[in-house]
Structure 1
Amino acid sequence: MCGVELIKKFEGCDLKAYPDPRTKGLPITIGWGSTRKRDGSPWYIGDTISQQEADELLIYQLETSYLPDLMRIPCWGELNPHQQGALLSFGYNLGSRFYGASGFDSITRVLNNRDWPNMRETLIKYRNPGTNVEQGLRRRREAEADLFLKPYP
C-alpha cells in the first residue's frame, strides 16, 4: 500500500501507550499513532504492543477506517498509487474525511479540478503556520507533494 512508509516516517512508533501530545491526555495513543484497538476500544496508559502488532494495527486501521473515506473522493479511481498514497498520508495526519470538509476548500478544489500542477502549493498550506509544529508539518506536506507528483510507471 503506497503511502505507508511516508506515514511511518512522520508518525514515529511508540510501543508503549502515551497521552496525546496536544491535549496531554485523551486520546491515549500507541504504535504508529493508533488511538483505538482493533475492537474499537481505547488504549490505556501502561498498555504495550509488539512492533509486529503496531505494524499490523496500522494496516488494519488504514484499510478499515481511512481508505473507505478516501475512496469517496470522486477522482480517487483515476489516481495512481503514488497519488493515492500521498492522500492517504495527508488523511492519516488530518483526518480521512477532509474532502469537502470545512477548512479544506483548497485541496477539495484541486482534487475536483484535477489541478495537479497546484497540488504542491495546496498541500503546503496545511501546515499550521505560526505553531511549534509548522516546520515538521511542512516537511510532511512536501514529502506528500513529492509522492503525489512522482511519476508512476
Structure 2
Amino acid sequence: MGLIKQFEGCKLSAYLCPAGIPTIGYGRTTGVKLGQTITQTQADAWVVDEYDAFEARVRRIVTVPLSANQLGALVSFAYNLGVGALASSTLLRLLNAGDYKGAAAQFARWNKAGGRVLTGLTKRRAAEAALFVKP
C-alpha cells in the first residue's frame, strides 16, 4: 500500500487525473463526481478497502507463486491502471509462464497517460519494478 499512497497522493476534493477521470482520495475513481469532498478518515478507509479488493483480483489472475513484494508491486500497478490492463498485459503473460525477470522488465512500458509519457508514471513503474525484484 506504500507505493499507492506515495504515488497517488491524497486529495480530499475530486479532481481530474491525467487520463481525465474524476478521482478523489488516494486515486479512487469509483462513483466520484467533480465537486465531491471527503474526509481524511474516509480516504484512509477507502484505500484499505480498495487495496484488499485489488489484491484479491490480482491473486485470481496470477497462476504462479508470488512473494509479498511481487504481490505489492502488481497491486500497485493494477490499482493505477486497472485489473483489466494487467490481465491483458504481456507482463502477466510472462509472469504466468514463470518468466519473472521478463515480467519485471515490462513495468517500464506502462508509463503513458493520454498517449504521453509522464514522469510520475515513469517513476512509479520503476519503483514497482524495483519492489517486484526485491527479495
Same fold by TM-score greater than 0.5:
yes
What secondary structure, in the 3-state scheme, does the structure 1 residue paired with 2:32 have?
coil
Gaps of 5+ in 2: none
Q: Determine which of 1, 9, 14 is the counterpart of 2:11.
A: 14
| Displacement of 1:14 | 0.3
Q: Give the TM-score, by structure 1 length.
A: 0.76
Q: Determine which of 80, 102, 110 is the counterpart of 2:67.
A: 80
Higher fraction of strand? 2
Query: Are 1:131 and 2:116 an aligned pair?
Result: yes
Pair 1:21–1:121, CA change in 2 (3 A): closer
Pair 1:68–1:49, CA change in 2 (3 A): same
Aligned-partner Cα distance in 1 for 2:16–2:102: 36
Whether the 8 Å CA contact 2:77–2:86 is kept in 1: the answer is no
Larger Rg: 1
Q: Could you give the per-residue CA deviations for residues 92-140 of structure 1, whole angstroms, max 9, x where no partner exists?
A: 1111133442xx1x2122212221222332111111297152x221111
How many residue pairs are counted as aligned between the two chains?
A: 134
**What is the CA RMSD across the aligned residues, in angstroms?**
2.1
Whether the 8 Å CA contact 2:91–2:104 is kept in 1: the answer is no
Query: Are 1:57 and 2:46 an aligned pair?
Result: yes
Whether the 8 Å CA contact 1:70–1:97 is kept in 2: the answer is no
Q: Could you give the per-residue CA deviations for residues 9-44 of structure 1, whole angstroms, max 9, x where no partner exists?
A: 111110112234433xxx4321011123xxxxx233
Q: Which residue of 2 aligns with 1:69?
A: 57
Q: Which residue of 2 aligns with 1:93?
A: 80
Q: Which residue of 1 aligns with 2:28?
A: 34
Whether the 8 Å CA contact 1:69–1:96 is kept in 2: the answer is yes
Q: Give the TM-score, by structure 2 length.
A: 0.85
Pair 1:148–1:49, CA change in 2 (3 A): same
Aligned-partner Cα distance in 2 for 1:100–1:32: 22
